[in-house]
Chains A and B, each alone.
Chain A
Amino acid sequence: MSERSPLFHGVILLGGLVFGFGLGLSQMARPEVVLDFLQFEDFGLLFVMGGGAVVTAVTFAVVPRVLDRAPLTGDTFRKRVKSFDRNVVIGGSIFGIGWGLSGICPGAAYASLGIGNYPILVAIGGMFIGAYAQGYWRSYRQQTETTVTPAD
């Protein structure tokens, strides 16, 4: 990353504030509302993801045409590139089971904490444990794959 303006973290904070306010307003930070959606009792959450995606679609299309480089970092505007492999499906399945069980996803969990929903700390703790477990396992597997050669 190139030279950073002192405003960098301030703008990240501002974006986070708006993002978090939106998560609160959208009710997605409330597990009961997410579970109602997944149980087909209230489809309102379609408008949350849909509304967010419409705004980002316009942003990702328009901003790179108006600006050459990002003012605070000097970086060029790139597309969100995530390569497709089977992990996208495996991870999505595990995430889906967890979301359907708990009714909470990462960003909404941070927002839920801000709302004063302290029991959500149990879910956030679980998320950190899960993220650690997969990272530890992947690092361990990578190490054994590169250092150990099968002797039989």
Chain B
Amino acid sequence: MTIEPLQITVETLFPNGISHYAAGGLLIGLGVTIIYAATGIIAGASTFLESTWSYVSKVSRFNKPKYLASRDWRVVFAVGIVAGAAAYALTLGAGGWTTDVQLWRLFVGGVLVGIGTRVGKGCTSGHGVCGVGSGSNTSFVNVATFLAFAIGTAQLVAALGVSP
């Protein structure tokens, strides 16, 4: 009985265990490693949202030399992510699923993610995984900021009774 409280705490914190979370995180890091070791490129996911516009838009921001030089491989990287996740769904992932989160949340949230990641110079992979792994103070500040605002927003929306 004396060790029960600790057990309950761990189960409360991690009701679904931690192994698939940790294994997924290690693979995400391995994907970054493969690209970095072979090419020297530190790949993030959100620049794709801007560099891809350069194929169809003349807006100067999207046509920076840096974006023009990287837009092709960023498309290849995104295609790889889609295909890799499909491979997961068809093997360990039990065939996939669809979300029940309301469409307006996905859309409005998506617009804000598109603005925020590009103004803030990175996202969960660029700042969160690569930047933190580089020991970058800029990334630590960005991650702390987006985590705090995400927690606040999700809790507020839930408190207002919006679900899911």
Query: Which residue of the partner chain B has the closest CB to A48?
Result: B25
| CB proximity of A152 to chain B, nearest CB, Å | 27
- B149–A92 contact, CB under 8 A? yes
- B53–A56 contact, CB under 8 A? no
Partner of B164, one of A20, A35, A104: A35
| CB proximity of A34 to chain B, nearest CB, Å | 8
Residues of B within 8 A of A52 (CB): 25-26, 28-29, 32, 125, 128-129, 133
Complex CA gap A19/B89 in Å reads 14
- A131–B98 contact, CB under 8 A? no
Residues of A within 8 A of B30 (CB): 18-19, 22, 55
Residues of B within 8 A of A24 (CB): 24, 84-85, 87-89, 93
Q: Give chain B interface residues in 47-74, CB to chain A under 8 Å.
A: 48-50, 52-53, 57, 59-62, 69, 72-73
Report the interface size for chain B: residues with CB under 8 A from the other chain.
123
- A30–B29 contact, CB under 8 A? no
Q: Give chain B interface residues in 124-155, CB to chain A under 8 Å.
A: 124-139, 141-155
> A25 near B: Cβ within 8 Å?
yes
Complex CA gap A9/B151 in Å reads 37
Query: Which residue of the partner chain B has the closest CB to A41?
Result: B15
Main secondary structure of the interface of B (DSSP, over half): helix
- A93–B116 contact, CB under 8 A? yes
Query: Which residue of the partner chain B has the closest CB to A59?
Result: B33
Given A119-B99, A127-B113, A57:B133 Cβ within 8 A:
yes
Q: Give chain B interface residues in 20-55, CB to chain A under 8 Å.
A: 20-46, 48-50, 52-53
Complex CA gap A30/B93 in Å reads 12
Contact flags A27-64 to B (C-beta < 8 A → 1, else 0):
11111100100111111111111111111110110010
Partner of B85, one of A14, A29, A39, A56: A29
> A148 near B: Cβ within 8 Å?
no
- B113–A98 contact, CB under 8 A? yes
Taking each of B31, B97, B100, which has the highest tally of chain A beta carbons within 10 Å of its own beta carbon?
B31
- A128–B142 contact, CB under 8 A? no
| CB proximity of A82 to chain B, nearest CB, Å | 5
> B106 near A: Cβ within 8 Å?
yes
- A20–B121 contact, CB under 8 A? no
- B142–A92 contact, CB under 8 A? yes
Residues of B within 8 A of A89 (CB): 120, 141-142, 145
Taking each of B72, B100, B103, B157, which has the highest tally of chain A beta carbons within 10 Å of its own beta carbon?
B157
Partner of B106, one of A71, A77, A123: A123
Given A55-B33, A89-B141, A111-B85, A118:B98 Cβ within 8 A:
yes
Residues of A within 8 A of B61 (CB): 135-136, 138-139, 142
Complex CA gap A123/B69 in Å reads 26
> B1 near A: Cβ within 8 Å?
no
Query: Which residue of the partner chain B has the closest CB to A44?
Result: B21
Contact flags A70-110 to B (C-beta < 8 A → 1, else 0):
11110111111111100111111111111111111111111
